[in-house]
A = this chain, B = another copy of it.
Amino acid sequence: MTRPRAEETDGRRAKGERRRRAIIDAALRVVAREGVGAVSHRNIAREADVPPASIAYYFDGIDDLLVAALMEGCEGLIAQLDQLHEQVRERADWPRAIAENLAGVLRDHRERTLGEYELYLLAARRPALRPAARRWIEAASGYVNGGRGGDGPAIRALFAAIDGILMQGLIADEPPTADDLEPVLRFLVQPVDYLRDRGYLD
């Protein structure tokens, strides 16, 4: 019995893996463009240009696909955060850097961010999405912490506020500018300087 040569098997496997990835990416695009409510075999199949039965073939159900999408989106988030981290590290003015980043996210990636938040909230309903959401939170949390050991509650406050800023920015008719956000971030990151500048101290 001739076992298939490795490159043959790998060829088949690789092709399947590529299609699987294509479906996940299509799902993320659909979530970004139309929301989690629009995630259906048909919609994703149309977006990925594959037959609808493919989705059922590669994933055990919509939840399974959403978990994969959440995980995949998480990787993207981490990469993005790493990049941000580089930027921030080089600058003395952290609050400004973060404000610019958040404003940029809301300006240039509003839909994707909105989709991510929808997925995020969906995890509160579907236990299957929980682990993926947890990874997400941990990634973001690590980003906020920024590697250095900061004060716990202060970091939690900053992280929570960033979540709130993004969510409120998604709902606002006009997304906030970096100038809008900068003082908020200054208060959160450097409250003493912030308060002294405003004359609240001494």
Q: How many identical subunits does the complex contain?
A: 4
Q: Residues of B contacting A195 with CB < 8 Å?
A: 191-192
A10 to B37, CA, bound (A): 37
> Interface residue count for A (Cβ, 8 Å)?
49
Smallest distance from the beta carbon of A154 to chain B beta carbons, Å? 5
Interface presence of A164 (CB below 8 A): yes
Mark the stretch among A18-26, A78-86, A168-176 that contacts chain B. A168-176
Cβ-based interface call for A142 (8 A): no
- Taking CB atoms, residues of chain B closer than 8 Å to A151 are 187, 198, 200
A36–B118 Cα distance when bound, in Å, is 11
- Residue A49 at the B interface, CB < 8 A? no
Residues of B within 8 Å of A192, CB to CB, are 191-192, 195, 200-201
Residues 96-116 of A at the B interface (beta carbon under 8 Å):
114
Choose one: B117, B120, B133, B154; the contact of A187 (CB below 8 Å): B154
Which residues of chain A from 123 to 146 have a CB within 8 Å of any chain B CB?
Answer: 123-125, 130, 133-134, 137
Q: Name the residue on B nearest A176 (C-beta).
A: B156
A-B complex: 7 closest residue pairs judged by Cβ atoms: A160-B164, A163-B164, A153-B183, A191-B191, A164-B164, A161-B161, A160-B161
